[in-house]
Amino acid sequence: MRFPDGFLWGAATAAYQIEGAVAEDGRGPSIWDTFSHTPGAVLRGDTGDVACDHYHRWREDLDLLAGLGVGAYRFSVAWPRVVPAGSGPVNPAGLDFYERLVDGLLERGITPMLTLYHWDLPQALQEAGGWAERDTAEHFADYAAVVHARLGDRVPYWLTLNEPYCSAVVGHLEGRHAPGLRDERTAVTAVHHLLLAHGKAVAALRAGGVSGRVGITCNLTSVHPASDDPADVAAARRLDLHENRMYLDPLLRGAYPHDAAEHYAAVTDFAFVRDGDLEQIAAPLDFFGINYYERHHARADPGDPARGWQRVPPERPTVTGIGVHPEGLGEILDRVAKEYTSLPLVVTETGLALHDYTGPDGEIADDERIAFFDGHVRAAHDALTRGVPLIGFFPWSFMDNFEWASGYGVRYGMYYVDYPTQRRRPKRSAHWYAALIRANGLD
């Protein structure tokens, strides 16, 4: 099984999850600093204060990436390093860091893929209302222009947002992520302002003459009804609205889904949508990023038959409680390519959490992770053979890191990070992935 020449084999990380150095060189606080320091918010009270200390160890980390043989690296820029208060003065030292990183990648022959927002909203903007406030979208576009002015000549792939669903829903409805709110009206408002921020950032990048390709990354799920029962079918349709269509439809069709107004009528009338917003949100892109982790079977929720759903628990849950379903990746790629867009697609994340450890033989034998990636790479290849224009695949993650509300309690990396010493060691999956990249495929 071979992939096309030039297929982008990458690896992914995000700023707050790896950098540490949260108070260095003028970085301002973000909502994740505040949230992780809130008692009870993160498992064991872990924070990203030090994380993988990547801010100081980036050279060594880039060497490890080069050793893997990746053609591309997806990282994120921390908005509060570049514009510490979210709007207003720019911090050149923050830009210097990302410039060193980008140059370091290019020197090693690795293509940078830059995410502008991977959840670390400057705290000052949260205090002004955060994503519930329309102005935040404007500030994001200004920040995008600042990053582009410094790095635009060297970055071939730009992603505006990572997973607007998680920012909006996990952060504002479920309260499990920063800013830790639990209010559906605020969450739906945040969806719109995040998408608007994306649209305005695309416009800012275009106005700046961006030469790289511009996209966004959504986490998409594959949703099925648990049975033919019309109540389960309707529940699956609502779950699909909530998890997928609320993002795909505005971004790629320029309209909220036909059933959105009715579904959310109890919490909002969508008065936050202004003339021209949807045109801006649906501005043409150059590629579309997909993060895939979850496949769901939905059934009716007896406690909330009109609006609710229940996700049927997986038969064999992983340590994060979800199942392993490589076929879901194929379903999503097919759907996006058939129903939504002919844009090139990139799998910008997929991965498996484990409690990795060093065995008595000194090896970190993450065979389950290898099986996971093997299955998902095959699913991606099958999609290619069906004609899906997939151009890249980025495992989550390059190395173990701060896994948001789970802190350091679960590991996703191909490199093991021993946090007390900051030593990185390849797991078996790193060797497996390097071999896959060398062969540009699997046997």
Q: Which of residues 398-427 bind ligand FCB (CB under 6 A)?
A: 403-404, 412
Q: Is 396 in the site for ligand FCB (CB under 6 A)?
A: yes
Whichever of 240 and 403 has its CB closer to ligand FCB, that residue is: 403
d(CA 113, CA 116): 10
Whichever of 17 and 310 has its CB closer to ligand FCB, that residue is: 17
What is the three-class DSSP state of 231?
helix
Active site residue 339: no
Whichever of 264 and 372 has its CB closer to ligand FCB, that residue is: 372
Looking at residue 411, its amino acid is R
Q: Which of 14, 83, 101, 345 binds ligand FCB (CB under 6 A)?
A: 14
Q: Is 356 in the site for ligand FCB (CB under 6 A)?
A: no
Q: Which of 162, 222, 280, 310 binds ligand FCB (CB under 6 A)?
A: 162
Q: Is 388 in the site for ligand FCB (CB under 6 A)?
A: no
- Residue for token digits 């969508």? 270
Report, in Å, the least distance between residue 406 CB and ligand FCB: 8
Whichever of 46 and 349 has its CB closer to ligand FCB, that residue is: 349
Q: Is 219 in the site for ligand FCB (CB under 6 A)?
A: yes
d(CA 67, CA 55): 19
In terms of Cα–Cα distance, which of 253, 252, 283, 285 is closest to 157? 285
Residue span binding ligand FCB (CB under 6 A) among the ranges 158-166, 243-251, 263-271, 303-311 = 158-166
Backbone angles phi, psi at 223, to 5 degrees: -115, 130
Report, in Å, the least distance between residue 342 CB and ligand FCB: 25
Give 82's contacts (C-beta < 8 A, 6+ positions apart): 90, 91, 94, 95, 98, 143, 146, 147
Which residue of the set 19, 331, 349, 403 is catalytic?
349
The pair of three-digit structure tokens given for residue 154, joined into one six-digit string: 């060297």
Q: Is 349 in the site for ligand FCB (CB under 6 A)?
A: yes
Q: Is 341 in the site for ligand FCB (CB under 6 A)?
A: no
Report, in Å, the least distance between residue 258 CB and ligand FCB: 28
Which residue of the set 19, 163, 294, 331 is catalytic?
163
Q: Which of 53, 163, 331, 356 binds ligand FCB (CB under 6 A)?
A: 163
Q: Strand 288-299 relative to strand 345-349: parallel, antiparallel, unpaired? A: parallel
Active site residue 163: yes
Q: Is 46 in the site for ligand FCB (CB under 6 A)?
A: no
d(CA 392, CA 71): 10
DSSP 399: B
d(CA 41, CA 402): 13
Report, in Å, the least distance between residue 303 CB and ligand FCB: 27
Total site size for ligand FCB, rule CB under 6 A: 13
Please spell the DSSP secondary structure of 320-382, one letter per residue.
TS----HHHHHHHHHHIIIII--S-EEEEE----B-----TTS----HHHHHHHHHHHHHHHH
Binding site for ligand FCB (CB under 6 A): 14, 17, 162-163, 166, 219, 291, 349, 351, 396, 403-404, 412
